Chains A and B, each alone.
Chain A
């Protein structure tokens, strides 16, 4: 479960990075990204992804080896 949470975190982080890179690319060189992909269309899904990530990843989860620590 922790691994999946970490994976979701990395997916969200990499998607946000890509979004920022593409947005800056389009801003610096107009027409370089837009013909292939409209970054504005990605804002809502990305926002949803970030929200899901915050909700899931910010919840404290029980230690993976709780029994070990108790012992």
Chain B
């Protein structure tokens, strides 16, 4: 009888032992004591942790592709995928195997907000920097024969940046003379200024078009280099009005300033127009975005958008039929023939002189790799130009690039393996991943992706820490209910 019991009880316990083991397996998968969780996908759509890129019109169907390889081909820009975060982790490292096809520049990143407006992009691939004449140094790349210290210099000429910041030039002017520039700019802009007599006196005359109800808020953030020194918030004059508001001045007066480059970041939606700008600064520019607005409700005749720029590559886009026109940059032009579509100009000259950019009808959003001055004599270069997909170092006399970019490892047959790392902030359940391949459509290019491996990491935990983590996660789950 005793023998029977000693056999029966363990026998009946088997299903419960299996249940506990399976339950523990799930807990360990969710909270690995090692602190490392790896999700791997061949981009065939089978991974529960990394989902293929979308939208469908910019990518091929994941799986077997023409040529027999398995993965997904990217044909448009940008494309978005998603990665399921398998628990509480501090950072994630993506190892990506890719093959660029007629594509000169790639960036990979994650969206830091739900609507994808705040992207954290990192350099993934540059065809120009694959050239063996360029040497990797601690903070970027220099051309053969150029010293590493050139990248630390405050002289921005001949230097480009790619997802990096550089030392600020200590600039100042003397002799204040106020000058008004008449212009019609729409929405937020970044203004770079050099102080005059240790002062910045900058007035924007703003007009709210009241196209939506309520007051519109405009924010001015002021930076010296990359350090924010002041923030001001204004409500524009709109209240219950539905008519065009009055033109009201907003003045920023900063005194006793140190030498340097100051940036006034003006944030407002596209309902707010800048009708003129008054400043004592002898040197000030706008960039990299310049949005010429219309003058409907303000003036009877259209105001052409004219600026001077050192940009070699621009993209132009309009959102209104009235904005369809031919945009000129130096001796080149592009016909903007559709709304909500970008049209680009890439200068092929080697001139270092400023070029005039003209949008005869206004109503045009322009983004360049350099800066824009509304008066030619006000131009200065606050920082090195941005490296873009169209940048050709030889033509543009670029000797160095400040960037955190690490050359990807070549794994043969045109394939590369690159590694990018991101910190995880907050308790994200899903990461929205982004692959940016600027200009891919215009050059009929593509990017083949055959593998993405995501390694989530946090510090290794001992048993009591691991237990605390699980308890904390249970509390979080309870609070989420």
Contact = CB atoms under 8 A, between A and B. Distances in A.
Interface string A27-52: 01111111110000000000000000
B380 interface: no
Contacts of A29: 30, 473, 477
B86 A35 contact: yes
Nearest to A18: B19
B473 to A, nearest CB: 7
Contacts of A34: 48
B81 to A, nearest CB: 15
Contacts of B26: 22, 25, 32-33, 36
Nearest to A34: B48
Contacts of B16: 10, 14
Contacts of B477: 28-29
B65 to A, nearest CB: 25
Interface residues of A, number: 22
Contacts of A36: 26, 29, 48
Interface in A1-31: 3, 6-7, 10-11, 13-15, 17-18, 21-22, 25, 28-31
Contacts of B215: none
A7 B23 contact: no
Contacts of A13: 15
Q: Which of A3, A6, A35 has the most CB atoms of chain B within a 10 A radius of its CB? A: A35
B12 A6 contact: yes
B138 to A, nearest CB: 40
B139 to A, nearest CB: 38
A15 to B, nearest CB: 7
B22 A32 contact: no
Interface string B177-218: 000000000000000000000000000000000000000000
A30 B429 contact: yes
Interface string B441-473: 000000000000000000000000000000001
Contacts of A35: 48-49, 84, 86
Contacts of A31: 84-86, 429-430
Contacts of B429: 30-31
B37 to A, nearest CB: 11
Nearest to B477: A28
Contacts of B478: 28
Contacts of B23: 18, 21-22
Nearest to A26: B26
Contacts of B480: 28
A10 B12 contact: yes
Contacts of B18: 14
Contacts of B19: 14-15, 17-18
A36 B478 CA distance: 22
Contacts of A21: 23
B260 interface: no
Interface in B399-432: 429-430
A15 B477 CA distance: 24
B8 interface: yes
A32 B477 CA distance: 11
Nearest to A25: B26
Contacts of A10: 12-16
Q: Which of B15, B85, B478 has the most CB atoms of chain A within a 10 A radius of its CB? A: B15
B296 interface: no
Nearest to A30: B429
Contacts of B117: none
Given A29-B30, A29-B477, A32-B30, A3 B15 contact: no
B30 to A, nearest CB: 5
Nearest to A37: B26
B160 to A, nearest CB: 41
B249 interface: no
Interface string B22-66: 110010011000000000000000001100000000000000000
B226 to A, nearest CB: 37
Contacts of B87: 32
Contacts of B30: 29, 32
A29 B22 CA distance: 17
Interface of A: 3, 6-7, 10-11, 13-15, 17-18, 21-22, 25, 28-36
19 contacts: A3-B11, A7-B11, A7-B14, A10-B12, A10-B16, A11-B15, A15-B19, A18-B19, A18-B23, A25-B26, A28-B477, A28-B478, A29-B473, A29-B477, A31-B86, A31-B430, A32-B87, A35-B84, A35-B86
Given A7-B12, A10-B14, A35-B84, 8 more contacts: A14-B18, A18-B19, A28-B480, A29-B473, A31-B429, A32-B30, A35-B48, A36-B29
| Nearest 6 pairs of A and B residues by beta carbon | A35-B48, A28-B477, A14-B15, A14-B19, A11-B15, A18-B19
